[in-house]
A and B are shown apart, each in its own frame.
Chain A
Amino acid sequence: MKGKTIKNLASCLFALFSLHESALASEQLSCDTIAETDIVDLDLSELGKVPVFMSANQKATCTRQAAGIVTVISGQEIRNMGARDLVDVLQLVPGFSFGIDTSNVVGLGIRGIQAHEGKVAVFIDGINLNEHRFGTTQFGSHFPVEQIDRIEIIRGPGSIIHGNFAEMGVINIISKTATQINGVKVSGAYGRFERGEARKNMELVAGKKWGDWEVTLSGKNGEAHRSDRIYRDAFGDSFDMSDSNELESRMINLDIKYKDIDFRILVDDYSVDSRDGFATTTTGPERYLNNRFTTYAGNLNYQYDFTEAIQLDLNAQFSRQNPWERTRKYFDGESPLLRERVFVDFYKFDAKTTFASEEGNYLVLGNSFSFDKFDIRKSEDGGLDSPLPTFSDYTAYAEASYAFPWVNVLAGLRFDAYNEYGTNLAPRVALTKDFGRFHFKALYSQAFRIPTGGNYQKNEEYNLGLLEDIAEGAPGLSEADQIGQVRPEKTHTAEIELGYELLDNLDLTINLFDIRSNNIILYQIDHRLDENGEPREADYYINAPGQNTQGIETGLRYSDEDWGYLELGYSFYRATRNTADKYKILNAQEAQLHDQLNVGFPTHKVTFNAHANITPSFSINPTLMFISDRFGYTGDLLTHHEPAWIANVYFRYQNLLTKGLEVGLGFYDIFNERYEYVQPYNGGHPALPGPSREIMLKLSYQY
């Protein structure tokens, strides 16, 4: 037991404090699962101490070292709710909200702050799927769900562990292991809106263990439509989304593991068609725009145990991405026109050592080196034709935790030295304690968002265009109008979590947060006149002084060994500081109507998720979400969006007629509330219609 305790602790710690993500994928925040997979290895006397249902307190004992506010969603829960994609899952997470970015690309906001552009890190099995050009991750029929073992979500700052893109949150998608799969599963889903096809997906999951070798392979091929409704732009032009705005996704995820060596390859090809356009106007009726996002990534990880308490962890990562490849396509078959293509190669090497004691104290020391290399193959007309610099980052980090009798204290420090953006020192401190049925966390963490190559490129191009316009005699411009490069954004976040186990299987958790961001990186569009007096738009990035939000999130979970579980969530935020007009709710006279609301975000969100077993094979799974009213913009016009109730129900029948055959039938947006993705900043893009009422049939077979 002693050795096992240290080893488990070491595993947790490696995962929790590793800066390389492959360890995160396999073990991070996974005490829940570590406990479950290790249960079979416990001896009889230990088995009697294992709780059947993990209470918030018990989970806290596992996740508290993470020093974060954490949501863990199991693959079983995801499949029970009949999730069509990750949007269905993440919408149930307190504080999470989806909104349109541009051109039918939908992204995530967290706690009242637009996080889509480089502020929420998304990993699949340790591989970062944020595109490294602007930092975005695109949602909507993108990620497969059948292979998911669990999703571990940090609803707060994660930069110190996860680096850039994790300023506001982290989403770790962790696939099943070969032992868990132990065979092949094929799955197909077909969904229809009232006015057309919603989706058709095929997924494959395979895994097998042979001695010390483990191999898993999963893949997805899917086509979907964002909506079946009519999109209307700021000038009244419209098009039918049931015939357009398609989403296509293909993903392959292969993992080969031999003892402590783990090698993974991931290919992601996500393609978004759009007629809704970049901002206020739709494209012409004869054409549409295709944005394609591809990632080819590899991840090699090796762990070496010097002793049960001292472990070395080595990791190497590489990815080649081609994000936002824009191609104009024509309905009449005319040859497509490639508008922009930029490759980003990312390399990262990481080494760290962890020292852990049996009492639960530990020290992690590590360092890493990473760089992004940009290759502009095709730039927009007038775009940058000179190469971008290579962006490198050397990181050193340390974290220590000590358990005092009355509190566990964690302190961490991360130092980054960037070749383009100077140095940064970021600390975090956590006080946590579990008192039987009650637990608390008091957390402070600094987080950051470092400008990307895409930000750099845009500002270079802005200056280039400005100088050209000046040279060609455009009125009212001078060289003094050139802009500098944006600086890193910094965030200070304080959080408190209180949890109480009301009954053995009824947990209540309450979180309070206070987020203060400075030098926020903000996308801007400059409207000026060219040499002919024609209007010309030029986009670039600036640093705005800041943005703060505060809020509360609560979760109540009831589990019953007989009939299932029930979860109720509530989240609230308010803006306490906003220096960026783009995020303010301004009327036509530019008067601020609500100073505690940000554009695109609901003040209140209530979620309900239940799983009711009718028989051992058949379950009914309702989900319900209430979203309070939101404000957005259509062009310059402020728009108000009514509160929405989104109700889904999924009927799941496992082992129907024969072993391994599963049938699911889902009804989504039962009340046809027609949720809209409101742009969470004033970019002029009208709210994008989301999925309306849908029926989906899913079949899967495992053998």
Chain B
Amino acid sequence: MRFLQLLTKSVFISALLLSQGWAMDHRELTIKAAYLFRLSLFVEWPPSKLSPTGSEPMLFCVAGNQGMSEALKTALADKSINQHKIEVAEVQLRDDLSACHLLYLPRHIQTPKPFLQAVVSHPVLTVGETEAFYRQGGMIYLYNKENRIRFAINEQAAKKAGLELRAQLLHLADQPP
């Protein structure tokens, strides 16, 4: 009887260990939220998109994950960039993505192309976490290297969208893995 119980317990644990999925640790999310905030400080949006003297909110859009957008909201509460208070919104492909100043595509967005196409002609800073995102024209690629978050920049894509990236940002960027 004891052996059976042990066996059951072992199977029970093994099954759980084998279960795979994806999610983001809270700490990791905080680091990425910090990146979104800090990266934005080195980006200039066209005045038509973001008035240099105005105080309209700056919209950080997060594609498709409620938990993540909530966590970003918490991490970026009370943060602002040049008088523009940061607002975080969760968005879907069907939404008007051109209203975003920054569009963040977490790594569970495995097909980023439709999102990138939706903002291709708009000054929207795109930040993503997959190689496909970077290859398909995403602007800032966040990736994990040796337990640290690094970023790579596709300057051409940003220029094409009318965004100006400051030299310091380009200097701090890494080569994509």
Contact = CB atoms under 8 A, between A and B. Distances in A.
> Do the two shown chains form a genuine complex with each other?
yes
Interface of A: 36, 39-45, 47-55, 74, 76, 179-180, 182, 209, 504-505, 559, 561-564, 566, 608, 610, 612-620, 622, 624, 645, 647, 649, 654-655, 659-660, 671, 702
B118 interface: no
A563 B147 contact: no
B67 A654 contact: yes
State the main secondary structure of chain B at its contact with A. helix
Contact of A54 (B21, B27, B146): B27
30 contacts: A39-B31, A40-B34, A40-B79, A43-B38, A47-B38, A48-B150, A49-B148, A51-B147, A51-B148, A52-B31, A52-B144, A52-B149, A74-B26, A504-B147, A505-B147, A561-B24, A561-B25, A563-B23, A610-B16, A612-B16, A613-B21, A615-B21, A615-B23, A617-B66, A617-B67, A622-B12, A622-B16, A624-B13, A647-B12, A671-B8
Contacts of A39: 30-31, 33-34, 75
Interface in B161-176: 169, 172, 174
Contacts of A54: 27
Contacts of A43: 38
Contact of A40 (B5, B8, B20, B37): B37
A612 B17 contact: yes
B98 interface: no
A55 B146 CA distance: 12
A612 B19 contact: yes
Interface in B107-159: 108, 144, 146-151
Contacts of A40: 30, 33-34, 37, 75-76, 79
B21 A614 contact: yes
Given A52-B144, A561-B144, A616-B67, 9 more contacts: A39-B31, A44-B35, A45-B172, A179-B74, A610-B13, A613-B22, A613-B23, A615-B23, A659-B66
A52 B32 CA distance: 10
Contacts, number: 143
B20 A563 contact: yes
Contacts of A179: 74, 77-78
Contact of B27 (A44, A53, A618, A619): A53
Contacts of A42: 34, 38
Interface string B87-103: 00010000000000000
B13 A182 contact: no
B149 A616 contact: no
B19 A53 contact: no
B70 interface: yes
A649 B9 CA distance: 12
A660 B66 CA distance: 8
Contacts of A655: 66-67
B30 A647 contact: no
B13 A608 contact: yes
B23 A564 contact: yes
- Pick from B23, B76, B77 the residue with the most CB of A within 10 Å: B23
Contact of B77 (A41, A209, A505, A610): A209
B80 interface: no
B19 A616 contact: no
B61 interface: no
Given A40-B30, A563-B21, A612-B21, A47 B16 contact: no
A98 to B, nearest CB: 22
Contacts of B73: 182
Contacts of A53: 25, 27-28, 147
Interface of B: 5, 8-9, 12-13, 16-17, 19-28, 30-31, 33-35, 37-39, 42, 65-68, 70, 73-79, 90, 108, 144, 146-151, 169, 172, 174
A659 to B, nearest CB: 5
A502 to B, nearest CB: 13
Contacts of B144: 52, 561
State the main secondary structure of chain A at its contact with B. mixed
Nearest to A673: B5
A659 B70 contact: yes
B9 A624 contact: yes
- Pick from B12, B16, B19, B27 the residue with the most CB of A within 10 Å: B27
Contacts of A618: 21
Contact of A44 (B30, B76, B147, B172): B172
A654 B42 CA distance: 35
Contacts of B146: 504
A39 B9 CA distance: 40
B65 to A, nearest CB: 6
Contacts of A659: 66, 70, 90
B16 A52 contact: no
Nearest to B90: A659
Given A52-B148, A180-B74, A655-B67, A44 B21 contact: no
Contacts of A562: 20-23
Given A564-B23, A616-B68, A44 B169 contact: yes
Given A39-B30, A180-B74, A52 B22 contact: no
A44 B166 CA distance: 13
- Pick from A41, A51, A608 the residue with the most CB of B within 10 Å: A51
A645 B9 contact: yes
Contacts of A649: 12, 16
Nearest to A503: B147
A179 B12 CA distance: 39
A645 B25 CA distance: 29
B41 to A, nearest CB: 8
Contacts of B66: 617, 654-655, 659-660
